[in-house]
Chain A
Amino acid sequence: MKARVTVTLKTGVLDPQGKAIEGALKSLGIAGVDSVRQGKVFDIELAGHDAVAAEAALKTACEKLLANTVIENYRVEIGA
């Protein structure tokens, strides 16, 4: 079973890396870029086929390590 965990900065948390990327995109002349916020994606292979248990395990993983909930939100998606 595959899963994807996405970790993003909470609204209002300053994101200097996102700002720098935004500046670079604008300087490349990419049209229509208003703002950029950067984050992290984790693609995780899971043993077993219990999607509910997998989601619970990954939420624990996010709380314990993958995200720092002081500044970050996370989203867990269970795939095929």
Chain B
Amino acid sequence: MDTTPALARPRAPGRLHRFANPGRFLRLTDAILPWLAGLSLLVLAFGAAWALFWAPPDWQQGETVRIMFVHVPMAWLAMGGYLGLAILSVMSLVWRHPLADLAARELSPVGAAVTALCLLTGSLWGKPMWGTWWVWDARLTSVLVLFFLWLGHAALVRAFDDPERGARMGAILALVGALNLPVVKFSVDWWNTLHQPASVTRLDAPGMHVDMLYPLLACTAGFSLAFAALVLAGTRAAVMERQLRTRQMAAARRAA
């Protein structure tokens, strides 16, 4: 009779697996999460005030340019988050990390949400500035594909009765979809698009005045911390849920 919960079984020793132990993960994040959540609220409040009140308007876009302070962090998080999903998928496929599966499962709904916000704010910005809500240029289309990849991953990992099988399928989808990441990033350089090229991550100086760049970076830091806090909280809940289920199964077997 095996009463040890499957997740608490000792793993092979090694530096990589030190953080994969769910018990250690729960203890560590229990200490970190309140600080992370508090810090993200603080930075977000400061960044929002800076962006909305102290940053100057653009010389030709006027006050509309403030949409950028939400749109750009959401776009960066959509892509950075997807890179995270791809790394988790490699860990899941190669090293069979149960924790990577759970984190990927909790990451994709948040990733889909930020990508949706990126598309929505972009549309709201495009109408007054470009004169259209939407065009099928390479940048906009590839970000829409990214959104569908996030949604597809979120749905696929939940579509199987066996969660491990779902995680395997989701990881394969995420890795195939990772091909879209360079397309999103370089679409504005490879093809001519209505969307403008990158302003901040250029080889020469950023094409943005520092009075707008610094509040943008502050907002990005705030949104990234909030993103991390949300995903971490979701992963914690998923780990605890799984531990609970394993214990209930063991108890049921003992009673039988």
Q: A and B: real partners?
A: no
Which B residues lie at the A interface, using CB under 8 A? none
